[in-house]
A and B are shown apart, each in its own frame.
Chain A
Amino acid sequence: MAFTLTNEFKAKADKLRAGYPRPDAALIPLLQELQKDRGFMAEEAMDALAAYLGLPYARVKAVVTFYTMFNRAPVGKYHLQVCRNISCHMAGAPGLLARLREKLAIEEGETTKDGLFTLSSVECLGACGAAPVMQVNEDYFEKLDEKKLDDLLEDMRHGRLRGMAR
């Protein structure tokens, strides 16, 4: 099935492009916008965007593969991104990751069968004073310990986390 950009997206795109003297500068914001729809970047979506912007497909693909926030496969409803860098490491990030692996029965990069959780380890999230830190979708959860992590998982399982943007 061919991927088509919605008129709503095109309207947003035109607005975003107007913010730059060269419209292709809006590529990254546009990709972010596009990812909101499906949660990941399909080749067809990149192709459609490339055609819409009049850019070579290879450039769009190169940008998508360069930046870590573009998901190249579907992710769960909650994308758990545990910081593994130095301050979080010292504050127990490896333990948190191990606990998540065990409780969710998945490895990093995998999604639970019910489609609820994807587990990733990520590099420094820039909140080292509140280590260890985990980003879930776009929200930060700081100063985590095992209890807080367990409660958070329960809240997510029961849909009690409100207003979380994807």
Chain B
Amino acid sequence: MENILLKDKVAGLDGYFAAGGYKPLKKALGMTPADLIEEVKKSGLRGRGGAGFPTGLKWSFIPKDGQGPRYIVCNADEGEPGTFKDREVILKNPHALIEGMAIAGYAIGASRGYIYIRGEFAAEARLLEEAIADARGRGLIGANLLGSGFDFELSVHRGAGAYICGEETALLESLEGFKGQPRLKPPFPAVKGLFASPTVINNVETLAAVPTIIEKGGAWYAAIGTPKSAGTKLFCVSGPVNKPGVYELPLGVAFRELLEKHCGGLKEGKKLKAVIPGGSSVPVLTAAEAMAVALDYEALAAAGSMLGSGAVIIIDETQCMVKLLQVLARFYHHESCGQCTPCREGCGWIEKILDRLEEGRGSAADIDLLCSVADGMKGRTICPLADAMAMPVLSFVKKFRAEFEAHAAGRCCPPEPAGKH
């Protein structure tokens, strides 16, 4: 199967043109917005940021009539631990994103787009700005795209260091110059989003898939992957494998195939212990569960986890699960926006309990307390950050309880990674 998103020699505008780039935009501008949305619906494309919401349906929520501006916003605030796919798209195929945004803008009637990119991606932001300037030079961004009468302005907005801005309403707050604190929903962004106007927010990978869908048709795209999980997905594999990196594969690919065929298996013949299949927020799978699972929305849900952002974190037998959970707890504690009580107070509490356990100061009661605190946070906050803390806690303890008990008894389980301070 040929790649849709990750291709060679398309980073520059000339290369992108040579590969047929911006023809889909021309085609799209000749269609009605309603037909465009229908085509994307038909493709079965689902949001690649983590939630997996059907993209065409999301676009269709924008009110059909009504005055005033609408916005298309790209979420390039890639920050979910384990995730590094959007950066790859930006570096290797920036025009697919730009073209996808122009098409999406036309489909929802938005003449203004913003790419919200995490602040740390300075080089990537500059690269995108250059690519937008190149596109503008050829009339692909700006007034009257390709003579169609449709105007589309696009610019890059850098964040400043806050994981929570990957949540779409926090992103909008940040883009408006505020702290990135998620908004209450309703109203949903499709009705009241950026600057109180109807807005669609899509992930980089989602938008970059749009030109090909328009070019080859929704049905063509829907034929890739599984019936409910259509298309290709970027899997970013990190951890002790021989060839970590981003792999574009059809949804539904077996985890075993990804690990063994594409990533060359574990380093130095180490044994697999666990896999976090969709970024650090999703429940962990044991080695046995992972080796039996297919990587798509439904199969992973059935296995008790989630596809999330497609960030596959490989954990080998030398790793201590208590330590890793402590690392994650420190992260969520650091990133909680502080708005909702359960998340603000709970993340810090969980970190403190894990500190105790990790340092051998904990007790068996702490293990139950950990789960009880996580339960108290789940499903009770404005955004999913509290759940993103609770899910790893509950799954780590459930599946690797023995390691937590060993810690509670004062014994440290597998040796620390080299250089532990």
Contact = CB atoms under 8 A, between A and B. Distances in A.
Given A32-B119, A127-B87, A131-B238, A86 B177 contact: no
Contacts of A92: 417-419
A165 B125 CA distance: 14
Given A28-B174, A28-B177, A123-B335, A128 B238 contact: yes
Given A92-B417, A95-B418, A87 B122 contact: no
A128 B295 CA distance: 19
Contacts, number: 158
Given A24-B177, A85-B81, A97 B244 contact: no
A67 B119 contact: yes
Interface in A1-55: 19-22, 24-29, 31-32
B175 A32 contact: no
Contacts of A85: 81, 280, 327-328, 331
B386 interface: no
Contacts of A130: 84, 244
B174 A138 contact: no
The size class of the interface chain A forms with chain B is: 35 or more
B158 A29 contact: yes
Contacts of A84: 327, 330
A77 interface: no
A133 to B, nearest CB: 9
B120 to A, nearest CB: 6
Given A32-B158, A90-B240, A129-B244, A124 B81 contact: yes
A69 B81 contact: no
Contact of A32 (B160, B238, B246): B160
Nearest to B153: A19
Given A25-B175, A90-B315, A165 B122 contact: yes
A97 B421 contact: yes
Given A85-B331, A126-B121, A90 B179 contact: no
A137 to B, nearest CB: 9
B79 A63 contact: no
The residue among B158, B179, B337 with the most chain A CB atoms within 10 A of its own CB is: B179
A28 B159 CA distance: 7
A90 B337 CA distance: 26
B334 interface: yes
Nearest to A66: B179
A127 to B, nearest CB: 5
Interface string A50-93: 00000000010011001111100000000000001111011110
Nearest to A123: B331
Interface of B: 69, 78-84, 86-87, 118-123, 155, 157-163, 174-180, 195, 236-240, 244-246, 276, 280, 311, 313, 315-316, 319, 323-324, 327-328, 330-331, 334-335, 337, 416-421
Interface of A: 19-22, 24-29, 31-32, 59, 62-63, 66-70, 84-87, 89-92, 94-99, 101, 123-131, 135, 138-140, 165
7 contacts: A26-B177, A27-B178, A98-B419, A124-B79, A126-B84, A128-B236, A129-B246
Sort A-B residue pairs by CB-CB distance and give the 10 closest, nearest first.
A95-B419, A68-B161, A27-B177, A67-B160, A69-B161, A128-B238, A87-B238, A138-B122, A66-B179, A124-B81
